[in-house]
A and B are shown apart, each in its own frame.
Chain A
């Protein structure tokens, strides 16, 4: 199989999608432009800022460093898909609100998706581990302290919820 367009099947935030895409289209642009999921932000478009981080089969990845065709048969979760329902925030989102974990909000989507994976793998992290986990995400507003506080608090909330939330 070759060519400059290709048909892909992906599941995005639980919804199966079957789309014909240009092979050079990045996953980030596919999510934003084709599917209208503009919660995924594009900062640097060369894999430095981390703003475009999404979960690919549950693993964090930079959607500017993946082609949409590479996501064929994958399960994608974007920031729009992390809350349990339309009216209930994910414990990480609640903690970010409570601890001023964001100011302009540009980096937030990438940090939230990164931390969803991180707290799943490491439910009781140290502050240092949180800082290492988000070392691939640039924030120019907060100085990171609010983000780290929020992540540690979210970890506590998730532990108390007994892993009921994702």
Chain B
């Protein structure tokens, strides 16, 4: 199994990468290569041109911006794992990143690559869905930002135009002291999730739920944010019945059958994992700031 022949390009800037995408036929971007390289080796992907983003300046930073966290597309998953800013401002991502592949793939795999690959079972996109992340994209006519929920266009398909580059991810940060929980069911640690659940909770002064969010990954064609949990939970006490009612909102989600699990089982997992994720998030929220 060897990659098919292609020409290899190493742009130094995003503008240069965009220009290459616009001028070359059948070109693919190479980020960390942990999904594209297997696809090349198995010849699922046969690009004539490979445009390596590794030498593009400025895509490898994690920075605070407008009260949130901006993560460059070429930030390695391993850097996220060790980032103090991520741990402090976005502990949900810090927890989820440990489930992304294995040490050997996190050392190479990138945040942008994981999002652009659009695998529904991938952990980073599921976190993006829960946090209502914004994706920043550059193309020939400048940059645009879109909410994460508009980014996936179908199974393993993004809404990126052929001449666009995903440059960064913007994660809004929840209030200090919020609780988070990431739960996943996979056959072994490091595999893609069969189903995963990412939950966030904030408490108010009376010890009730002030804000809630939930996303489920791996069930359907893209991670899905269960918006209705907010109305279900806000104002309620952080009790098991409340979280169980919120988790029940997952019972109608789109879920597919495959060799690993039936759609029915995936919906079951979504409910169970959502309940566990909320329970964990609540205990962290009432435990106070870490």
Contact = CB atoms under 8 A, between A and B. Distances in A.
Nearest to B52: A70
Looking at chain A, what size class is its interface with the partner chain?
Answer: 20 to 34
Q: How large is the interface on B (under 10, 10 to 19, 20 to 34, 35 or more residues)?
A: 20 to 34
B4 A64 contact: no
A13 interface: no
Given A60-B107, A64-B41, A117-B103, 12 more contacts: A4-B8, A23-B6, A47-B37, A47-B105, A59-B107, A61-B104, A62-B105, A62-B108, A66-B37, A69-B8, A69-B52, A114-B104
19 contacts: A2-B8, A2-B9, A3-B8, A4-B5, A23-B6, A26-B2, A46-B41, A60-B107, A61-B104, A62-B34, A62-B105, A65-B105, A66-B37, A69-B8, A70-B54, A133-B103, A135-B188, A136-B102, A136-B190
A136 B78 CA distance: 15
A45 B8 contact: no
A56 B107 contact: yes
A66 B8 contact: no
B102 A3 contact: no
Given A1-B10, A114-B104, A47 B34 contact: yes
A6 interface: yes
B38 A46 contact: yes
Nearest to A22: B5
B42 A46 contact: yes
B1 A135 contact: no
Contact of A4 (B7, B33, B54, B188): B7
A6 B38 CA distance: 22
Contacts of B108: 56, 61-62, 65-66
A67 B54 CA distance: 12
A132 interface: yes
B8 A61 contact: no
Nearest to B54: A70
Contacts of A64: 37, 41
Contacts of B181: none
A59 B4 CA distance: 27
A6 B78 CA distance: 28
Given A26-B2, A66-B33, A136-B104, A45 B9 contact: no
A62 B104 contact: yes
A69 B6 CA distance: 13
A65 B108 CA distance: 9
Interface string B76-92: 00100000000000000
Contacts of B9: 1-2
Nearest to A3: B7
Nearest to B4: A24
Contacts of A29: 2
A50 interface: yes
Contacts of A59: 78, 107
Contacts of B105: 47, 62, 65, 136
